[in-house]
Structure formats: C-alpha cells, structure tokens
A = this chain, B = another copy of it.
Amino acid sequence: MSETRWLTSCEQEVWRAFITAADALTDQFARQLQRDSGMPYTYYEILVALSEAPNRTLRMSELAGARGSSRSRLSHAVARLEEAGWVTRSTCPTDKRGSFAQLTEEGFAALEAAAPGHVTEVREKLFDVLSAEQVGQLGEISKAILRGLGVPDPPGCPAGEPGR
C-alpha cells in the first residue's frame, strides 16, 4: 500500500464538473422519459436493446450483459415490462434454464412513441452545446474510460464519416 495520490485543485475541479454534469444529464433524461413516456430510463434501454436484436428477441443473460445490468435487476424489470404488455417471456427449448425476452408490438410502439422526445433531449442538452471537435474528444475520452474499466467498447465510426 502506497500513499494516497490526492487530486490537485485542478483535477478536483474537473472531477466535480464531470460528475455533476454526468449526473445532471442522466437525471434530466430519466425525468423526461418518466414524465413523457411513463418508463424509467433503464426500461427504455431494455426496449432499445430488444428492438435491435434479431427477431426482437434476446436471452435474459445477453440482455443483462448488453448493458451492465445484473440478472436480478433484469428479472425484476422484465417482469414489470411483461405486466405492461411490452415484453413476453418464453423458455429456451435447447436449454431449459434459459429464458427469451421478446419485444411485443405494443412494446415496439411504446418505444417508437418515446424515442423522438428522448432523442430531442439528447440533441439539445448534449450535442447542441458542444462543438464538433468536442464531440470527437468526448468520444475518445469515453472510450478511454471504458477501456480502463475493462468494458469492451463497440467498434465505430472512423473519424470523418458523414454519418447516419
């Protein structure tokens, strides 16, 4: 054990600004979604993940792994989503321990209804306040953090592509 390497005042400032901004931002999005679409942000993410999967279906464990969610959390969440009629569960025929979660039409409709408001919020509160250069920097910084945490980052846009 060595001595604690304390933060310099500059680092402290950056740290506080970052944690405050990240927190306020996620809070903003969570509230917007809850208010306008009646779903927590984590549930929205589940619906998004399912909507992008082949046949709009994923194993519970894949769904949990897709974002850093625990199995337990997912069980509770999907139970709730099933109540809402947005997802159905079925057991895997080849491995009877496993469960599939599938997005229903209602779930997809709910997602489509929620998406515009959410995207608008992300654009206004994040991309509109940053320069193109800063957006690039933020991407690099985020990836560096993810690497440091041992989270695999998805491959992406090779810096210069027009996009969409």
Contact = CB atoms under 8 A, between A and B. Distances in A.
Interface of A: 4-11, 13-28, 67-68, 115-116, 119-120, 122-130, 134-149, 151, 153-154, 156-157, 161-164
Contacts of A122: 7, 15
Contact of A163 (B5, B10, B68, B130): B10
A153 B67 contact: no
A153 B17 contact: yes
A67 B19 CA distance: 11
B130 A20 contact: no
A81 to B, nearest CB: 20
B163 A14 contact: no
Contact of A18 (B68, B123, B142, B157): B142
A13 B139 contact: yes
Contacts of A119: 4-7
A161 B129 CA distance: 26
Nearest to A48: B16
Contact of A6 (B149, B161, B164): B164
B148 A125 contact: yes
B20 A162 contact: no
